[in-house]
């Protein structure tokens, strides 16, 4: 029963329990009232009997009549009593009358057979002989009632008969009790009256209680509904943002926690994105808070549209939004979503018929760098901060972000401007073909012509940029510039191949091959004239994607080489599965090539490359001895200060012309 009750709703439970209680109350009240009704009806009957006794019996009776024990009343006296009483009996609707003396003798009765006989009497008789008026519905079992059994039920009332000191009957039941008289009234009419009244009472009670119950139930039902709504509203307000109706920080953190645990369990990656509007305060100040609010609502809707059903976008407060992305295969997928969101924000917002341009900084953190919600949030926050400070737009959290000094961040933030203002310049370092002695290719190396700090080498800004999203635009910039240069040289009659370095973050960028193809086409450069250098770590960071990117690049016809070979941990077997054409032996082996360890590694690398059908180039060749050893080892190409440093384009081409001219003469 309890179980059943627990399953039904609170209201139904209240309905059932209160119904049972009201019914119980009805029964109890009904019974109490019925008892009272019965007592009152009996009381009426008793009063009738008393009245009958006072006005009918006492005046004709003499106390001496009751003194007759064993001796019958004298006939004359009995005839007197008969005459006085018998008539009034039928008038008062009295079925039987007995006058008892205190010794239980029937002194007079309308039933002659009882006259002057002794009976044990019942409790009521005994009670009345002590002075109490008592009444009972008799079951006609006493011996003196033998003749009355033809009647249905009868009400017998005993009224005591007392005398005062002077030997006169008292009015009431006071004085010395010398006997009692008993009258039998027909009970049927009384019972009828009781039943009738009881039925009416029950009906009234039932209708009254039913109305009361319905009224209370209605009130409670309404109150319960209001309460449920209120609870629902409170719950909603506790978990959702009032303005945008998106989940708030509480729900966001909760989802993030769930999703992070799930990711850990099924081996996927979950990500948290934190998005903060740039310059939102200015928009708010200029257009008013109402417009600011409108903008936030539209923004929430736009972000939602770019997400999958299982993703969550939340407003975390102010102009900060958060996105939870479950079930990803790779951190780059989260970055792709962030890029998608950023693209969605590029179109201006229409607030109060004014077009507003909005930019946001997005920090991305994935479970591969920290698994609990708090860590994810902290990482996303750090990444978002970096994105904001460096104006890169999107940042995927990496450990280096934590180490960022304000100065480095300031530098990174300038890179964006540097790209736009074309402050980045490329220097070119020739590569020498050791068989022909000619220089037909160069490596493009980026420098920053900083307006205040002069010419900066890549080591001064690349590490910071590489840890931000800006490395992608920088790479495209270098590719664009290098191909423009190659085209320009070709226009001057010099067919020079250029190689460009690819940062690790770009090796997994699936859009890169398309962009490269577009640039080649735009500058009208043959794909074979472009070489892309990437390090072992760049490949290993993200093997599956890098493989796809490299295969797509190779398919276009671009040459690929492994830079700084020997410093990473890529297994040769793995590298041979990639469309790589050249191994570029790291300068650290070449600088001091005569040292036995370096010589062994270099020889081994060259032989291995040959076996695999790859060519080799040694970088960092600073003297002739090194060059001779490399020639002996069968290295294909060399690059280094011994030949030339990285030079500005015009100096480089002049150097190449001079070099190739001499080589031809030799």
Binding site for ligand C2E (CB under 6 A): 429, 445-446, 457-459, 462, 478, 501, 503, 533, 563-564, 587, 619-622, 639-641, 646
Contacts of 649 (CB under 8 A, 6+ apart): 426, 427, 428, 485, 488
- Label each residue of 292-312 as H, E or C: HHHHHHHHHHHHHHCCCCCCE
Do 585 and 605 contact (CB within 8 A), yes or no?
yes
What does 423 interact with, of Mg ion, ligand C2E, none (CB < 5 to 8 A by kind)? none
Whichever of 390 and 429 has its CB closer to Mg ion, that residue is: 429
The pair of three-digit structure tokens given for residue 396, joined into one six-digit string = 């995927």
Task: Determine, following the binding rule CB under 5 A, whether residue 564 of this chain makes contact with Mg ion.
Answer: yes
In the complex, least distance from residue 427 CB atom to ligand C2E, rounded to whole angstroms? 7
Angstrom distance (rounded) from CA 286 to CA 572: 60
Q: Interface mask (CB under 5 A) for Mg ion, residues 520-559, using x and -?
A: -------------x--------------------------
- For the four alpha carbons of 569, 582, 576 and 521, in that order, the dihedral sign comes to positive
What does 445 interact with, of Mg ion, ligand C2E, none (CB < 5 to 8 A by kind)? ligand C2E
Task: Determine, following the binding rule CB under 5 A, whether residue 563 of this chain makes contact with Mg ion.
Answer: yes
DSSP 620-642: ---SHHHHHHHHHHT--EEESTT
In the complex, least distance from residue 346 CB atom to Mg ion, rounded to whole angstroms? 34
Angstrom distance (rounded) from CA 298 to CA 524: 43
Whichever of 324 and 464 has its CB closer to ligand C2E, that residue is: 464
Helix 249-266 × helix 373-390 angle, to 10°: 110
In the complex, least distance from residue 532 CB atom to ligand C2E, rounded to whole angstroms? 10
What does 167 interact with, of Mg ion, ligand C2E, none (CB < 5 to 8 A by kind)? none
CA geometry: angle at 512 spanning 511 and 516, to 5°? Answer: 125
What does 170 interact with, of ligand C2E, Mg ion, none (CB < 5 to 8 A by kind)? none
Question: Taking CB positions, which residue lies at the least distance from ligand C2E?
Answer: 640
In the complex, least distance from residue 587 CB atom to ligand C2E, rounded to whole angstroms? 6
In the complex, least distance from residue 392 CB atom to ligand C2E, rounded to whole angstroms? 15
DSSP one-letter code for 72: P
Whichever of 187 and 461 has its CB closer to Mg ion, that residue is: 461
Whichever of 326 and 640 has its CB closer to ligand C2E, that residue is: 640
What does 641 interact with, of ligand C2E, Mg ion, none (CB < 5 to 8 A by kind)? ligand C2E
Buried b (16+ CB within 10 A) or exposed e, 653-662: bebbeebbee
β-partners of residue 531 are 499, 559
Q: By C-alpha distance, which of 580, 583, 505, 573 is closest to 541? A: 505
DSSP one-letter code for 57: I
The residue from 361, 367, 501, 561 that contacts Mg ion (CB under 5 A) is: 501
DSSP 454-485: EEEPHHHHHHHHHTSTTHHHHHHHHHHHHHHH
Stretch that binds Mg ion, among 347-355, 460-468, 495-503, 515-523 (CB under 5 A): 495-503
What does 224 interact with, of Mg ion, ligand C2E, none (CB < 5 to 8 A by kind)? none
Stretch that binds Mg ion, among 228-236, 406-414, 498-506, 653-661 (CB under 5 A): 498-506
Angstrom distance (rounded) from CA 511 to CA 407: 32
Do 468 and 412 contact (CB within 8 A), yes or no?
yes
In the complex, least distance from residue 644 CB atom to ligand C2E, rounded to whole angstroms? 9
What does 65 interact with, of ligand C2E, Mg ion, none (CB < 5 to 8 A by kind)? none
Stretch that binds Mg ion, among 205-213, 235-243, 500-508, 627-635 (CB under 5 A): 500-508
Residues engaged in binding Mg ion (CB under 5 A):
501, 533, 563-564
């Amino acid at each position: 029963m309890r179980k059943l009750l627990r399953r039904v709703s609170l209201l139904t439970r209240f309905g059932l329990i209160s119904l049972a209680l009201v019914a119980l109350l009805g029964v109890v009240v009904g019974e109490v009232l019925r008892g009272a009704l019965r007592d009152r009806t009996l009381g009426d009957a008793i009063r009738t009997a008393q009245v009958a006794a006072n006005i009918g019996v006492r005046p004709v009776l003499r106390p001496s009549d009751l003194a007759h024990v064993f001796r019958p009343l004298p006939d004359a006296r009995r005839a007197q009593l008969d005459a006085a009483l018998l008539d009034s009996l039928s008038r008062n609707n009295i079925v039987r009358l007995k006058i008892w003396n205190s010794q239980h003798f029937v002194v007079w009765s309308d039933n002659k057979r009882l006259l002057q006989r002794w009976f044990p009497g019942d409790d009521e008789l005994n009670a009345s002989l002590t002075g109490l008026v008592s009444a009972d519905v008799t079951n006609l079992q006493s011996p003196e009632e033998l003749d009355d059994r033809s009647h249905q039920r009868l009400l017998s009332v005993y009224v005591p008969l007392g005398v005062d000191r002077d030997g006169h009957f008292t009015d009431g039941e006071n004085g010395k009790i010398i006997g009692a008289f008993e009258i039998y009234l027909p009970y049927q009419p009384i019972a009828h009256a009781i039943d009738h009244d009881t039925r009416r009472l029950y009906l009234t009670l039932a209708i009254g209680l039913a109305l009361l119950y319905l009224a209370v139930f209605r009130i409670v039902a309404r109150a319960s509904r209001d309460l449920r709504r209120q609870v629902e509203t409170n719950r909603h307000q506790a978990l959702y943002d009032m303005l945008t109706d998106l989940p708030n920080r509480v729900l966001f953190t909760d989802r993030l926690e769930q999703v992070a645990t799930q990711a850990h369990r099924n081996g996927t990656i979950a990500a948290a994105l934190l998005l903060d509007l740039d310059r939102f305060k200015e928009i708010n100040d200029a257009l008013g808070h109402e417009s600011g609010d409108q903008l936030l609502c539209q923004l929430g809707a736009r972000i939602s549209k770019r997400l999958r059903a299982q993703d969550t976008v939340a407003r975390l407060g102010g102009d900060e939004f958060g996105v939870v992305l479950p079930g990803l295969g790779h951190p780059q997928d989260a970055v792709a979503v962030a890029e998608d969101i950023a693209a969605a924000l590029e179109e201006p917002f229409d607030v109060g018929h004014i077009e507003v341009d909005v930019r946001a900084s997005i920090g991305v953190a994935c479970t591969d760098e920290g698994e609990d919600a708090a860590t994810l949030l902290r990482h996303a926050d750090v990444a978002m901060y970096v994105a904001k400070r460096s104006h890169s737009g999107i940042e995927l959290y990496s450990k280096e972000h934590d180490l960022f000094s304000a100065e480095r961040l300031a530098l990174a933030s300038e890179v964006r401007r540097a790209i736009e203002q074309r402050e980045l310049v490329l220097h070119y370092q020739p590569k020498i073909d050791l068989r022909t002695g000619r220089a037909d290719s160069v490596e493009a190396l980026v420098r920053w012509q900083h307006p205040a700090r002069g010419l900066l080498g890549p080591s001064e800004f690349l590490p910071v940029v590489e840890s931000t999203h800006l490395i992608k635009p920088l790479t495209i910039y270098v590719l664009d510039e290098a191909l423009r240069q190659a085209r320009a040289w070709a226009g001057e009659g010099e067919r020079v191949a250029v190689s460009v370095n690819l940062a690790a973050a770009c090796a997994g960028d699936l859009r890169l091959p398309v962009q490269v193809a577009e640039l080649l086409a735009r500058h009208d450069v043959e794909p074979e004239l472009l070489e892309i250098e990437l390090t072992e770590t760049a490949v290993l960071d993200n093997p599956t994607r890098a493989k796809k990117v490299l295969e797509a690049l190779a398919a276009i016809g671009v040459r690929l080489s492994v830079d700084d070979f020997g410093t990473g941990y890529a297994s040769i077997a793995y590298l041979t599965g990639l469309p790589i054409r050249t191994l570029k032996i790291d300068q650290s082996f070449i600088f001091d090539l005569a040292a036995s360890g370096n010589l062994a590694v270099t020889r081994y690398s060259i032989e291995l490359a040959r076996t695999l059908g790859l060519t080799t180039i040694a970088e960092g060749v600073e003297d002739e001895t090194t060059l001779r050893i490399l020639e002996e080892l069968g290295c294909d190409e060399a690059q280094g200060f011994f030949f030339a440093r990285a030079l500005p384009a015009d100096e480089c081409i002049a150097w190449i012309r001079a070099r190739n001219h001499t080589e031809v003469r030799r």
